[in-house]
Each structure stands twice: as structure tokens, then as C-alpha cells.
Structure 1
């Protein structure tokens, strides 16, 4: 079921893409056959949030914030398109489910999933969102992103327990992330979903900053039996995807500078 106000916002964006010089609220309402009062509230809200800009003649155009979103979307599409062939090979090699995700605000968004014929049930699907602190992919972002960004994210995290293994202490998580930076990958030990054990590694962009993360996930007993082998193939695949998108890995941070 579609939400009327959300549909109207999308129609406003689509309309303004064809009017680079902008339109007034009255013109927007007329073009879209919308009530002027509700159009006013939608447009003003989008303007106040930075999604639209206004000129001296009170004409509204697409705002700079949409450039950031569009750029992020383009990067996600490109990373997914470049990465899927490597993810399929990784799935064939480890015989477990493989994922790819990107960061959106302070959450994880899944952009690819390659199922194995013995995959276990999981709520993680392309397009779904998950917290950072209790998923392997999310912890890969926290471990390998620039320190200043990580600290900002930590200040906004609300720790909620999903399973008995969910880590709800910032101090403990920070200590764990230090270990992950040395390993080169992150671990989710049944912290978001019961029965699911996950290894996750970073994919870097052309600026040397993490742009995505990939993971392999499966039942804990099965994953632990081949943990080192799976980790090796995971890291190799992350490196190949990094190369495919023109990325590189920054030199490791100095110990103690977390």
C-alpha cells in the first residue's frame, strides 16, 4: 500500500527534474493536480530539510542534498554491479549465503544477497536495514571507517538487545573492533539473529575509505569448522571487488589510535 504523501514527494521531485529554473508552489500544485495547501506544506518541509532550494522569486528547484543521495545511490549500484560476479564465486567457494551492504545514515542497507542451496532463514534481504553494532557487516563499517565518522556514529547508537549474544556496551564493542582491525574482518556471533554466525570484510573506494562490506553467513557450528578458510576467501573477494571499483586500502592505523 502506497503512502499518499510519499508518492506526492516523489512526484514533486520528478516534476522539478524537468524544470531546472524552478516552479512556484502554485505551479507545482497545478502541474500535479494537487491541493495548494498540502503542496505548500510538502514543499516547505522539503526546503527546510535541504531537499529543495528557493530563489528570490520563490521558485523551488532541486536541492543540494539530493546530489549527495544520488551520488551514494550511483556508488551503491556500481558497487553491486561490479561485485555480484565475485560474490557468486565466493558463494560457490564457501557454500554459504553471501551478502553485500552499504551504509545509509547510521544503518546498514543490504544491496545484494547470493543464496546457497543450504542457506538458513534470515531476515536480511536486499533493501532491508539493520543496526551496525550487532551485525558482521555493520561492525565491518565501524571497524574500518575513519575514526571521526565512527565516533559520530557511536554517539547516535541506541543499543538494543536482539539475542542473548547482542553486545550492548559501547566500551566492549570498541575493544572488539580493535581486534577486528587486526584480523582484517568482523564477526557477528549470533548477535542479531539466533543461529546465524557471520564473517564480514570491508570494500574500499578510490579514496581509500570503506564504501561497502561483504559477508558470509551460516549456522555457527558449520561456519566455525571452516572459519579460517572462509575468512581467507572472504578477504580475497573483498580485495578483488575493491580493485574492480578502482579502490585501494589505506595503511593500517597505528595501534592505540582507535
Structure 2
């Protein structure tokens, strides 16, 4: 059962979210197709409870109480658990192993892993830390973090070779990161484990910052054979998780 007045309150919030400079009561009633009198009564109630604010030009905007509620909602949002159905669906679609990781100083920490039965077995496990510069997940953070934060991380670490294909030249790494930024995703080819190719993409939160990264990993030859399909499904997945966390472009 839908309560009409509750639904209307939500529609007001969703409308005003699209107009940061606010709207008058008449503008809202026109856009929503409601009588101006009933629109005014709802607006006044929300304004009196500080869920809306009013500018000098008599336009109503989202109010301070919504900021507090949003902050508490974020605190209670367990994105690791919330993301699991999306990651499992991705694994079933691409039929390769899927990871999610977060950044911890100059390392990535695996927080989710869904291993497809036929995929290559990796040594990575939930809770494990790996270098940020030679993993697809780590490169996602280096690529999509603000430039100053990336520089701060790179200035603190030594680019050591883990496999013969690890990039150890900072200039070459930064050039690669610039290319990844244009692509919208990252990858690493046998830089951390021989025979393994990893493709990763960022997950953003409501503040439009990268919060986590998701990757698909598998045997190099098979990953290259299905790269376009894997990238497409990976980006759809990270966009869905980002939207779940309140992110909008």
C-alpha cells in the first residue's frame, strides 16, 4: 500500500534535488501537476521541520535536516555487503573471478572475492593487501583519485619488480594512468602474477570520490579474447554499485 502524502513528500525531495537554486511553490506545483494549495501545505510542513529551507527570493531548497539524515544513512550503509549481489552477478556473467578492494595508505585491501569455478586460482584472499602500483585495483585508485593524492602516494613508494612485467619506471606508470583515465577503467597484464590479466574500474560514493574498485581477473589469453564483453559488464556493475551508494554523474 502506498501512502499518498508520504509519496508526495519524496517527490518534492527528488524534484528539489534537481534544482540547487530552489523553486517557488508555484513552480513546484506546476512541475508536479498538483494544486497549489496542497503543495503549499506540504512545503510549509517540511519547512517548519527544517527539511526545507527558503531563500530571500522565496524559493525553497533542501534543508539542513536532510543533510543529517543523509550522513547517518551513509554511516549505516555497509557497501561491502550491499555490493555482493552485483559482484556475484558479474562473476556469473563473465565467468571469471571478481574482486572488490579498498585503499589503505599505499596498498589495496581485498574486501570481496567471488571465484568462478573454472577460473584461474589466484593467491589473493579477503583481507590481503597488495601494492597499489602493480595491480589493476590499485591502478584504479591511482587513476581516479585526485591528482595531488596520487602524487602523495607515489612519492612514498618504491616501484619494485614483482614479475618481469611490473612497471618500475614512474614516468611510464604515470603515462599509463593518463591513458586509463581516458578509458574509464584500468588493467594490468602479468605485473603481479604471471599468466594473469586483471581489468578494474572505480566505484564512487555520494561525494563523487572513488570509494572502492572492482576487478575481473583470469588467464591472460581468455581475458583478452573476451575483453570487450568483460569491460562492458564490469562498467555496468561499478555504475550500479556507485548509484547504490548515492553517486550521480
TM-score, length-normalised on structure 1?
0.66
* Partner residue, 2:78: 78
1:243 alignment counterpart: 243
Taking the aligned partners of 1:167 and 1:79, their CA distance within structure 2 comes to 31
Alpha-carbon separation, structure 2, partners of 1:165 and 1:139: 15
Give distance in 1, aligned partners of 2:115 and 2:77: 19
Offset, 1:76:
11
Structure-2 separation of matches of 1:92 and 1:192: 24
Query: 1:153 Cα shift?
Result: 0.4
In structure 2, how many angstroms separate the alpha carbons of the residues matched to 1:77 and 1:109?
19
Distance in 2 of aligned mates of 1:91 and 1:218: 11
Secondary structure at 1:124's aligned position in 2?
A: coil
Instruction: Indicate how the Cα distance of structure 1 residues 158 and 77 shifts in structure 2: closer, same or farther if over 3 A, else same.
Output: farther
Match of 2:59?
none
Moved over 4 A (4+): 74-77
Matching of residues 87-126 of structure 1 within 5 Å = 87-126=87-126
Give the 5 Å matches for 1:1-258.
78-249=78-249
Structure 1 residues 170, 76: closer, same or farther in 2, change over 3 A? farther
Whole-Å Cα distance in 2 between the matches of residues 186 and 146 of structure 1? 16
Shift of 1:121: 2.0
Cα 1:75–1:135, aligned 2, differ >3 Å: closer, same or farther?
A: farther
Alpha-carbon shift at residue 123 of structure 1 (Å):
1.6
Rg larger in structure: 2
**Residue number in structure 1 paired with 2:36:** none
- Secondary structure at the aligned position of 2:101 is classed as strand
The equivalent residue for 2:21 is none
Q: Which runs of 5+ in 1 are unaligned?
A: 1-73, 250-258
Counterparts of 2:205 and 2:248, CA distance in 1: 6
2:90 is paired with a residue whose SS is: helix
CA distance in 1, matches of 2:225, 2:119: 16
Q: Secondary structure at the match of 1:151?
A: helix
Deviations 1:91-139 (A, max 9, x none): 0100000000000111100000001011212121100000010000000
Contact in 2 for aligned 1:76/1:102 (Cα 8 Å): no
